[in-house]
A and B are shown apart, each in its own frame.
Chain A
Amino acid sequence: MTTTDNLSRASATTGATRSLTRITQAPLFGASIALVVAIVAFGILSPRFLTLGNFSLIFQQSVVIGILAVAQTLIILTAGIDLSVGAIAVLGTIVVTMTSESVGAPLALLVTLLVCVALASINGGLVTLLGLPPFIVTLGTFTAIVAATRLVAGSQTFPVSDPLLTFLGNKFSIGGFTTTYGVVAMVVVYIVVGYSLTQTAWGRHVYAVGGNPVAARLSGVQANRTIFSVYLLSGVIALIGAWAALGRIPNADPNAYQNANLETITAVVIGGTSLFGGRGGVLGTLIGTLIVGVLRNGLTLAGVDNLYQNIATGVLVIIAVAVDQVMRRRNAR
């Protein structure tokens, strides 16, 4: 036990693959069970729940939070937290819509990518160069970006009709299962980031700086560079989230996704990623996102007040954190 755990805590260099598999997969178990139980329970409660059309709906409803939760997972793995990721995406929807009217959608997407990455790099710069706590940094940028979004938009909403900007909302069918390109985009983001985290040196560095920064530094990992790269990537993911949001609802709205920061943290935590960093992964986050989506949809189909959804979600968050604490204490022993 002890040997394996020590290994996993200093997984940056040796025994990496084996212990990495363990630390990324262990908390997945509980989340998967919860998802299966929820699906079975709602299948029994409502005959309409277990249909292809309904599952297609749950995926479509999970796309935006699902994508943004990938950025949140990366940052939490470095023992950080990002309260601003939703706000950056919402600003992105406004900027891309407004600029596309004058410069066209492709260039507007590029401009917006730069805006999102620039804002995310402010977070990254303050966290790494000045060593400020991520919670406070992103609380500040969150507050400022929400206000800036309203200023830029003049508190108006903008209907979007450009076919490229709404592309991720287009539907297609595979074997009777109708879905959107937004769902595909979400899956691609999970696969790319999941692969990078588990199969590349960069991924091992992300786990290392979060799990044990001292050991990581002693092993020659450049902590600041790794952490900064994670924030940069969160900006790119925010743009993809913004694009998917316009596909889902073709209306750029400065009031949208006000709770996206907390919803992404919820998905990450339910998915078993540790808020203390270094343990977890994006597969858990996908399951966490789907659990929240399944609860929202399933309770409606069962004809139940949607406040119960929040109770169930809250209970799951606490259980997930409790699991994490128990595992941490065992590892520390």
Chain B
Amino acid sequence: MKFQRPRQWTLAIAAAAALVSVSACADTDPGASEAPGGAEGDVKIGLVTKTDSNPFFVKMREAAQSATDEHGAELIALAGAFDGDNEGQVAAIENLVSQGVDGIMITPNSSSGILAAIESAREQGVLVVALDTATDPEDAVDATFATDNFAAGVAQGAWVKAALGDTEPQLLMLDGTPGGTVDTFRHDGFLEGIGLTEDSPQVLGMESTNGDQTKAQTAMENLLQRAPQANALYTINEPAAAGGHAAIVAAGLQDQIVIGSIDGSCTGVENVKKGVIGATVMQFPTKMAEQGVEAIVAFAKDGTKPKGGFNDTGSVLITDNPAEGVESEDTAWGAENCWG
């Protein structure tokens, strides 16, 4: 035992030093530059995104950071550990409330699982707004700033229909995550836009991809085995479109199939320019974050609550092959306005 003591101390000190150094380098983070318990009246805003790896949420977070800087407020950005991580978001909300934030912006991973945490935060006087994804029911938050995903789906569907011209659509669908509200809105919107229903014989097949490029490619390879006559492809997002396109090229069907998508990432716009995707519907995470920050800053100043319910942050169809009757912008405009 005697000989072990010093070694244990060394290790304990190493552990302590590591913790302190992590805290210390964390201190250089701009969000933490303010002294703890800083002046009363500083507005503190929490942001809880679905994950911190998706570029969409990275852009949203950057926009939230610059908007809070502009208002002289402080932002604390947290995220779920993985897509669908409700427990992590619940803990994030609780910790933000404990921290004393004025308002929280959240992109809920689970539209219903998060409700109790939101309710408890609002009871303690915190303004809660949903960004990108609505809660279920929608009035569980003070306001929602999001893309009207049904309208975005309709735009995609209308363009694909126009691009096919007089040809009867033979449709394949690369969906996101089964049961997700955003996924359902886009899916249903697309079908309305192209003029089909879920059980139309023209719908040849659909697969879940979780919005993941690799899964989308595998799913599309299998769908094309079953339905090589397809001429239209709906995709939940641009990575799914890229995966679907790879499978289509491998099958040599790139001149036969029209691909539509949704998102508006810079990679997606670039893919529209290169002809990988026919058209994509751009959404605006920057606007969501900015409007969310404005709502919370206004609330912190004098208790003004934002306009409740759903606030559409808009969407724009991006394509270099504009179709009659479908409003769109070209890829040059898209490249200027894309989100990373």
**Is B62 at the interface (CB under 8 A from chain A)?**
no
Known contacts: A57-B98, A300-B96, A302-B32. The answer to whether A45 contacts B113 by CB under 8 A is: no
CA distance A156 to B23 in the complex (A): 40
Known contacts: A157-B112, A323-B11. The answer to whether A34 contacts B19 by CB under 8 A is: yes
**Is B74 at the interface (CB under 8 A from chain A)?**
yes
Which residues of chain B are near A330, meaning CB under 8 Å? 4
| Pick from A54, A315, A326: contact of B11, CB under 8 Å | A326
Q: Is B36 a contact partner of A46 (Cβ separation < 8 A)?
A: yes
Which residues of chain B are near A44, meaning CB under 8 Å? 36
Known contacts: A61-B94, A311-B22. The answer to whether A259 contacts B81 by CB under 8 A is: yes
CA distance A157 to B297 in the complex (A): 34
Q: Is A30 a contact partner of B22 (Cβ separation < 8 A)?
A: no
Q: Across the interface, name the chain A residue whose C-beta is closest to B109.
A: A255
Which residues of chain A are near B32, meaning CB under 8 Å? 302-304
Interface string of B3-44 (1 = CB under 8 A from A): 110011001101110111011011101011010110000001
Which residues of chain B are near A308, meaning CB under 8 Å? 22-23, 25-26, 29
Known contacts: A30-B15, A38-B19, A315-B22. The answer to whether A251 contacts B86 by CB under 8 A is: yes
Q: Is B15 a contact partner of A255 (Cβ separation < 8 A)?
A: no
Which residues of chain B are near A257, meaning CB under 8 Å? 87
CA distance A304 to B74 in the complex (A): 11
Which residues of chain A are near B91, meaning CB under 8 Å? 61, 296-297
Q: How far is the CB of A309 from chain B (nearest CB, A)?
A: 9
Q: Is B82 a contact partner of A259 (Cβ separation < 8 A)?
A: yes
CA distance A38 to B15 in the complex (A): 10
Which residues of chain A are near B86, meaning CB under 8 Å? 249, 251, 253, 255-256
Q: Is A312 a contact partner of B87 (Cβ separation < 8 A)?
A: no
| Pick from B77, B81, B84, B98: contact of A48, CB under 8 Å | B98
**Is A199 at the interface (CB under 8 A from chain B)?**
no
Q: Is A304 a contact partner of B29 (Cβ separation < 8 A)?
A: yes
Which residues of chain B are near A204, meaning CB under 8 Å? none
CA distance A41 to B87 in the complex (A): 26
Which residues of chain A are near B92, meaning CB under 8 Å? 300, 306
Q: Across the interface, name the chain B residue whose C-beta is closest to A49.
A: B98
CA distance A29 to B6 in the complex (A): 12
| Pick from B18, B100, B110: contact of A253, CB under 8 Å | B110
Q: Across the interface, name the chain B residue whose C-beta is closest to A307.
A: B52
CA distance A44 to B18 in the complex (A): 17
Q: How far is the CB of B46 from chain A (nearest CB, A)?
A: 8
| Pick from A42, A157, A248: contact of B110, CB under 8 Å | A157
**Is B116 at the interface (CB under 8 A from chain A)?**
yes
Within 8 A of A (CB), among B25-72: 25-27, 29, 31-32, 34, 36-37, 44, 52
**Is B78 at the interface (CB under 8 A from chain A)?**
yes
Q: How far is the CB of B80 from chain A (nearest CB, A)?
A: 10
Q: Is B36 a contact partner of A47 (Cβ separation < 8 A)?
A: yes
Which residues of chain A are near B84, meaning CB under 8 Å? 253, 255-256, 258
Q: Is A312 a contact partner of B113 (Cβ separation < 8 A)?
A: no
Q: Is B11 a contact partner of A256 (Cβ separation < 8 A)?
A: no
Q: Is B113 a contact partner of A300 (Cβ separation < 8 A)?
A: no
CA distance A240 to B222 in the complex (A): 41
**Is B99 at the interface (CB under 8 A from chain A)?**
yes
Q: Is B87 a contact partner of A303 (Cβ separation < 8 A)?
A: no
| Pick from B8, B31, B94: contact of A303, CB under 8 Å | B31
CA distance A37 to B92 in the complex (A): 23
Which residues of chain B are near A250, meaning CB under 8 Å? 116
Q: Is A302 a contact partner of B179 (Cβ separation < 8 A)?
A: no
Q: Is A300 a contact partner of B26 (Cβ separation < 8 A)?
A: no
CA distance A251 to B36 in the complex (A): 36
Q: Is B95 a contact partner of A300 (Cβ separation < 8 A)?
A: yes
Which residues of chain A are near B74, meaning CB under 8 Å? 303
Q: How far is the CB of A198 from chain B (nearest CB, A)?
A: 19
Q: Is B37 a contact partner of A29 (Cβ separation < 8 A)?
A: no
CA distance A192 to B177 in the complex (A): 41
Q: Across the interface, name the chain B residue whose C-beta is closest to A299.
A: B26
CA distance A33 to B91 in the complex (A): 25
Q: Across the interface, name the chain B residue whose C-beta is closest to A318.
A: B18
Which residues of chain B are near A47, meaning CB under 8 Å? 36-37
Which residues of chain A are near B27, meaning CB under 8 Å? 304
Within 8 A of B (CB), among A57-103: 57, 60-61, 64
Q: Is A41 a contact partner of B23 (Cβ separation < 8 A)?
A: yes
**Is A14 at the interface (CB under 8 A from chain B)?**
no
**Is A122 at the interface (CB under 8 A from chain B)?**
no
CA distance A307 to B117 in the complex (A): 22
Q: Is A253 a contact partner of B20 (Cβ separation < 8 A)?
A: no
Q: Is A54 a contact partner of B36 (Cβ separation < 8 A)?
A: no
Which residues of chain B are near A48, meaning CB under 8 Å? 37, 98-100
**Is B340 at the interface (CB under 8 A from chain A)?**
no
Known contacts: A41-B19, A300-B78, A305-B77. The answer to whether A29 contacts B98 by CB under 8 A is: no
| Pick from A33, A156, A297, A300: contact of B15, CB under 8 Å | A33
Q: Across the interface, name the chain B residue whose C-beta is closest to A150.
A: B178
CA distance A322 to B92 in the complex (A): 31
Interface string of B108-138 (1 = CB under 8 A from A): 0110110011000000000000000000000
B interface, CB within 8 angstroms of A: 1, 3-4, 7-8, 11-12, 14-16, 18-20, 22-23, 25-27, 29, 31-32, 34, 36-37, 44, 52, 74, 76-79, 81-82, 84-87, 90-92, 94-96, 98-100, 109-110, 112-113, 116-117, 177-179
Given contacts A45-B23, A304-B27, A312-B18, 20 further A-B contacts (CB under 8 A): A22-B1, A29-B8, A30-B12, A34-B15, A48-B100, A61-B91, A155-B178, A249-B117, A253-B86, A255-B85, A256-B86, A303-B29, A303-B31, A303-B34, A303-B74, A306-B52, A306-B78, A308-B22, A312-B23, A315-B19
The 6 nearest A-B residue pairs measured at CB: A255-B84, A300-B95, A251-B113, A33-B12, A308-B26, A304-B26
| A/B interface sample: 13 pairs, CB < 8 A | A29-B8, A37-B16, A48-B100, A245-B87, A249-B116, A249-B117, A259-B82, A299-B23, A300-B95, A304-B26, A305-B29, A306-B78, A326-B11
